[in-house]
Structure 1
Amino acid sequence: AEPVDPRKAAVEAAIARAKARKQEQQAGSEPVDPRKAAVEAAIARAKARKQEQQAGSEPVEPADPRKAAVAAAIARVQAKKAAQQQVVNED
């Protein structure tokens, strides 16, 4: 298992947020597959969980894992919200 850098996890969470925002903007012009958004959210959750587990086993600065976990939680909420909006838009 390779170590996960908290900064990398935060960057990945920011990228996920940007993708979610972009998908929301394109939702009006182009339908987005909610399954795809759900898969991306699941991947983000898995990466966050993996990073949290490794943060507990490796000595890392205490602020970084928390920031990464918060960023991942925000990304999960935004992805969930985007998926819910897609379901509403389909109805």
Structure 2
Amino acid sequence: AAVEAAIARAKARKQEQQAGSEPAEAVDPRKAAVEAAIARAKARKQEQQTGSEPAEPVDPRKAAVEAAIARAKARKQEQQAGSEPAEPADPRKAAVAAAIARVQAKKAAQQQVVNED
């Protein structure tokens, strides 16, 4: 339903832009605003008729939060799917990664020696 709502809003914006791109004689800003509001209302009405769920007014903050949550879930799922470290394709990057791993192992060994004393 959210996707359909977004599509309907995009279509309404596109209609507004097309209506604005047509040559008009002496465009009254109030008249243009009224036409835009009518187009948005028609888009909302069409959205409500096509959606099986009752459409709620779209709060931009809620939509942004939902989008951020969806991105975070997608990132988490991607990380879980690719949990094995991928080998860098560049040989220099592989060498740097190996050097970093050696340094980290050396530091860990030194920490163990210090902790045992």
| 2:88 is equivalent to residue 65 of structure 1 | no
Q: Larger C-alpha radius of gyration, 1 or 2?
A: 2
Q: Which range moved further: 24-33 or 75-84? A: 24-33
Cα gap change, 1:75 to 1:24, in 2 (>3 Å): farther
Aligned counterpart for 2:72 among listed residues 46, 52, 66? 46
Query: TM-score scaled to structure 2, two decimals?
Result: 0.25
Please state how far the C-alpha of 1:21 moved relative to its aligned partner: 53
Unaligned runs of 5+ in 1: none
- Shift >6 Å, 4+ stretches: 1-63
Please state how far the C-alpha of 1:52 moved relative to its aligned partner: 30
CA-to-aligned-CA distance 1:64-87 (integer Å, 9 cap, x gap): 100000000000000000000000
Q: Distance in 1 between matches of 2:50 and 2:85?
A: 42
CA-to-aligned-CA distance 1:6-31 (integer Å, 9 cap, x gap): 99999999999999999999999999
| 2:101 is equivalent to residue 78 of structure 1 | no
Query: TM-score scaled to structure 1, two decimals?
Result: 0.32
Provide the aligned length of Structure 1 versus Structure 2.
Answer: 91
Provide the alpha-carbon RMSD of the alignment.
25.9
Listed as ranges, the matches of 1:13-24 within 5 Å are none
Bigger relative contact order (CA 8 A; separation at least 6):
1
Unaligned runs of 5+ in 2: 1-23
Q: Distance in 1 between matches of 2:113 and 2:101?
A: 18
Q: Distance in 2 between matches of 1:67 and 1:38?
A: 36
